[in-house]
Amino acid sequence: MSVEDVMAMPEQDGWEYTGLKPRDGRNWVCSAYVAAMYKAAGLFGDMDIQSTEFATMDIYIMNLFDGGATRPDACVEADPTLPYCQLRGKYRIELPYFNSITPYEHMFEKCAINYPTYARDAGC
């Protein structure tokens, strides 16, 4: 296989890596770890999802959060316009497309994240 072919393959959650002791075994970056926890908790049902294919933005754009929940008063006081709660910080956290995509089979396995805008290709 060419390097390009290998790079285009969706990484599988069960893959284990060797030769990097003491880090041998399964490896996740932070967003893939959160997706793996969502998967283990059953949030994806029986869908075929590879958590290792999830990037940071993917975690918060999935429609998994209760959009109708009433935010606590402290959240509203801190920022009345955000749909999520940010209590502290000098800068406002912007989460474009928050809670907007319903999870689907093989989610994000064929989706590029286009630097520097991080815009997704159509259909992703």
How far lies 117's CA from each of 72, 84, 112, 123, in Å?
Answer: 32, 23, 12, 17
Q: In angstroms, rounded to a whole number, what is the distance separating the alpha carbons of residues 2 and 67? A: 44
Any long-range contacts for 88-97 (C-beta under 8 Å, 24+ apart)? 95/60, 95/61, 96/57, 96/61, 97/57, 97/61
pLDDT number for residue 41: 97
- The verdict on 55 and 92 lying in the same domain is no
* Mean pLDDT of the chain, nearest integer: 87
Cα–Cα distances (Å) from 22 to 17, 86, 114, in that order, read 11, 37, 33
* Number of structural domains the chain divides into: 2
Q: How many CB atoms lie within 10 A of CB 49?
A: 23
| Torsion from C-alpha of 62, 43, 30, 112, nearest 10 degrees | -40
Does one domain contain both 53 and 85? no
Of 34-38, 49-53, 74-78, 112-116, where does mean pLDDT reach its minimum? 112-116
* Integer Cα distance of 72 and 44 in angstroms: 27
Domain boundary among 63, 91, 109: 63
pLDDT at residue 120 is higher than 80: no
14 lies in the same domain as 45? yes
Q: How far apart are CA 34 and CA 20, in angstroms?
A: 23
Residue 82: domain span: 65-100
Token pair 């041998």 is found at 24
Same domain, 48 and 88: no
User: pLDDT digits over 91-102, tens only?
Assistant: 999 998 899 999
In tens, the pLDDT along 13-60 reads 877 777 777 777 777 788 999 999 999 999 999 999 999 889 888 999
Residue 111 belongs to a domain: no
Is 82 inside any structural domain? Answer: yes
4 and 59 inside one domain: yes
**Global confidence as pTM:** 0.77
* pLDDT surpasses 90 at 77: yes
Q: Closest by alpha carbon to 39, among 120, 103, 91?
A: 103
Whether 55 and 96 map to the same domain: the answer is no
Q: Does residue 78 sit in the same domain as residue 44?
A: no
Do 56 and 39 share a structural domain? yes
Residues 33 and 86 in one domain: no
Of the ranges 46-50, 88-92, 105-109, the best mean pLDDT one = 46-50
